[in-house]
Chain A
Amino acid sequence: MDEKKILIIDDDPHLLMGLTARLKANGYRVVSATDAISAIAVALKETPDLVILDLGLPAGDGLLVLARIKGLAALAGTPVIVLSARDPSGSEKRALDAGAIAFFQKPPDNHEFLGAIRQALGETIALSSFLKT
């Protein structure tokens, strides 16, 4: 299966629409969830290769979602990029400490953001190939 699957967890339908269009154009499959509770269910069902996570979510904070993902064996290895309107001072460190691989403040610089997504998906390959050797 060549197409990587990305799960976007964000409650803003317009963001979902815009970002989904861009990611699809870049050759990814995209699934989405719009609140903290369904996010875990969707993640478990879809087992995405990458999660893009907003922090301010209905029915629970994004950091809780992040902790759940990292706490579930089936999802713990999935890289999570946080994309939040929150200020990086404070939130960035908390997100990284909780296991996110990157933090972007909305609106992100496209070049950096898409680059990080590419790298995150590439990194999983690189690390797994390291583990095999």
Chain B
Amino acid sequence: MNSDVPGRVDASEYCPPAIQSATFISSQGDESSSIELSPKLRADLLDLDAWGEILTTYSRSMRVAVALTDSQGRLLGECHNPQPVWKLVNGAAPVGGAGCPFCITTHLPCTAVVAALQGGEAVMVRDQAGLTHVAVPLLLGKQRLGAIIAGQVFDRYPEPLSMRRVAKESGVSAQQLWEVARRQVPISRTILLASGDLLCTLGQAFLLQRYGTIIEAELGRTNRRYRLLVDGVRDYALFTMDLDGRVTSWNGGAESMFGYVVAEIVGQNFSCIFTPEDIASHVPEKQLHQALQGGRAEDEGWRVRRNQQHFWANVNITPLLEDAGPDRGFAIIMQDVTERRRVAMVLEETRQERVRMQETFLSHVSHELRTPLTAIHFFMTNVLDGVTGDLTPQQHEHLSLALDNVKQLKDMVRDLLDITRVETLKLTVEPEQASAAKLVAEVLSTCRTNAALKNITLRSDVAPGLPFVWADPSRVRQIIINLIDNGIKFSPERGTLTVGIRRAEDVGFLRLWVSDAGCGISPGNREIIFDRLAQVRSSVEVSRSGLGLGLFISRELVSRQGGRIWVESKLGHGSTFYFTLPVFSLAKLCARVLTPQNLDGGSVSLITVDVAAIEGSDQANIVPKIRKILGGCIHSGQDVLLPAMSDVEPVRTFFIVACTDLSGFNAIAKRIGRGFQNFDSASTLEPVICSTTLVVGAGGSREEKIIEVTARIDQLIQAHLLNEERDSNG
């Protein structure tokens, strides 16, 4: 492209007023750095005096007109305007037409400024006179500060009016002068274009130079502000340490918290604020180590003031590792929470005291209620059992009902204590291998009289062939009775109540349920009913109320046995309460023994202890004692004393799955022998102890091995029990 414009101003070139060409020149905006500039900083960066020298030098060497604008395009000052290219008026905005600083004849130059500021790129326009103007935006990061505009001038181009005056004064013809003027060429457009880049570079260099110093100054001010902030904080001790734990800075809060002033503490190891016991057990070092390892360390504990007074501190340690070198270390924030701790402790003590008092009170009430209940119980059972003579059928029926009510009272008294135990975490559950079907059958027979009062039919829906559960029989009974009593309470006369058992979807559980055709429970109440003392409002009107503790205790009892309880209900169509109990599994029970190492190492043994002489003696009392002795002879937490493996009574054989080999077994056998001797010095019990080491085939997954071993254990146990049966029969 031939960039040279003909040296003659052709009238035709003054119109039409439109952008004849626009070229975008790349500018180097640093995208990564973005900084929020205050108006003051912005003005500072566009300080014309600072720009003056650059722009004037540039414009002289380039022989162009140069001006600087702010980000709105308002003229900040005229740097170099050798020819009246622009009508530069300081502070004037690029509005186009009259009053526009750049537009004498056209508004093209001001268009370039606006386009450059908007687009963030350099813009070149050529006006009607054929003169080129380049507007370069000034960018600082993503911020547009303003623009520099450079305009082409005709060097020594005579102004038409003065030309005429000169011609007149010099006595030359205007035509001659015009010829002279035609030889004066304007600055090459190519040069101007090339210099656009130069202008950009100059601008960026200048800004970066200023940016640096100004930002540094800004940072300095920020640091001062931070220092003021840190020092001003009084409620927190804020201090820094080097990697060895020597204090490097110490704020006003730390000063008033500990009583050390900066001059005393800086350079000292921070262990001086710990108690002597903590120092002796290397707590300070451990905390720093922990902070380095974990990225932070938190602690609450005693710290020591300069006057040796102790206070309870909440401490937060953060390692400072961002910088290399001397600033690496730790920042510590510490708060004196002695008062907060005291209040929390008082509150907790009050709560415990309240629960203790409640328990004492309830256990007293329970004791006092039980005494008259016991007298009533004995008198009634005596009469019922004919100790005092024969009864008429009606007398018998009425007394039976009265006795049922005594039982209910007894249950309520038990609930009163249970509820407190939930809070004090003393509610006990002792799981054993139990038949859920048997428990349900027992409960149904005891609940029949109560149900008969309202003509309610109790139905059982128990699937055949269910496995044993691992649960506390008395607690399961308590749960089912609670649910049945509830069902009876909310069922209409002549209704039906069903108690059922099925396998749960989770194969490790049985699902038990009690369903009624009562009034149902609204969705909003389905969770609430399991809360303490909950009784849905309308339910009180339906029937006489109990203590409202049944479901709450049931939920606790179910969850403590590893199951869950829930209700499904439709208003007006009855409710079904479900709960799950874990299935008894030899594999689960023995899981802690049946580890891959033990199995592969051949160190799993089944130990059988036969106690022949139990027969005839009071086994109800002796069996628990023997279990206790055996429990003391094995490695608790590792070996497992199995529950009774059949319901044949008397129990004569006890089984232990132990992690032991032959020599280990000899030691256990010796211990068991001694245990029995201590218990029964006459040696009437004569335990016979045997052991079988369980070996599994190589290969196979852990699950397969466990299944294989438990099947083997089961097989051995059944064989043993069968032999025992034969012996006692033969």
Contact = CB atoms under 8 A, between A and B. Distances in A.
A17 B371 CA distance: 13
A110 B613 contact: no
B367 interface: yes
Nearest to B370: A85
Contact of B363 (A87, A108, A119): A87
Contacts of B426: 89
B557 interface: no
A22 interface: yes
Of the candidates A85, A105, A116, the one having the most CB atoms from chain B within 10 angstroms of its own CB is A85
B618 interface: yes
A102 interface: yes
Nearest to A15: B375
Interface string A1-25: 0000000000010110111011001
Interface in A49-84: 56
Interface stretch (A28-36, A37-45, A122-130): A122-130
Given A89-B428, A106-B370, A126 B616 contact: yes
Contacts of A101: 618, 621
A2 B375 CA distance: 28
B374 interface: yes
A114 to B, nearest CB: 10
Given A56-B367, A87-B363, A107-B406, A119 B378 contact: no
A121 B387 CA distance: 21
Interface in B276-331: none
Interface string B608-648: 00000100111011000000000000000000000000000
B613 A130 contact: yes
B366 interface: yes
A17 B372 CA distance: 13
Of the candidates B371, B374, B379, B426, the one having the most CB atoms from chain A within 10 angstroms of its own CB is B374
Contacts of A102: 620-621
A133 B385 CA distance: 40
Given A21-B388, A119-B620, A105 B370 contact: yes
Contacts of A19: 378
A22 B387 contact: yes
Of the candidates B371, B382, B613, the one having the most CB atoms from chain A within 10 angstroms of its own CB is B371
B410 interface: yes
The size bracket of the interface on A is: 20 to 34
A95 interface: no
A127 B684 contact: yes
A85 B385 CA distance: 23
Given A106-B370, A107-B406, A130-B682, A18 B620 contact: no
B618 A107 contact: no
B620 A116 contact: yes
B417 interface: yes
A106 B406 CA distance: 12
A85 B618 CA distance: 24
B382 A21 contact: yes
A25 B382 contact: yes
A21 B618 contact: no
A131 B375 contact: no
Contact of B379 (A18, A86, A110): A18
Contacts of A107: 370, 373-374, 376-378, 406, 410
Contacts of A17: 375, 379
A18 B617 contact: no
B678 interface: no
Interface in B366-406: 366-368, 370-379, 381-382, 385, 387-388, 406
B617 A106 contact: no
Contacts of B387: 21-22, 25
Contacts of A86: 367
B620 A85 contact: no
Nearest to B622: A123
Given A12-B371, A15-B371, A107-B377, 14 more contacts: A17-B375, A17-B379, A18-B378, A21-B378, A21-B387, A85-B366, A85-B371, A87-B417, A89-B428, A108-B374, A119-B621, A130-B682, A130-B684, A131-B684
20 contacts: A12-B374, A14-B379, A15-B371, A18-B375, A18-B377, A18-B378, A18-B379, A18-B382, A21-B378, A22-B385, A85-B367, A102-B621, A105-B370, A106-B373, A107-B370, A107-B377, A123-B617, A123-B618, A123-B621, A127-B617
List the 4 closest pairs (A to B, CB-CB), nearest first.
Answer: A18-B378, A14-B375, A107-B377, A85-B370
Interface of B: 363, 366-368, 370-379, 381-382, 385, 387-388, 406, 410, 417, 421, 426, 428, 613, 616-618, 620-621, 682, 684
Interface of A: 12, 14-15, 17-19, 21-22, 25, 56, 85-87, 89, 101-102, 105-108, 110, 116, 119-120, 122-123, 126-127, 130-131
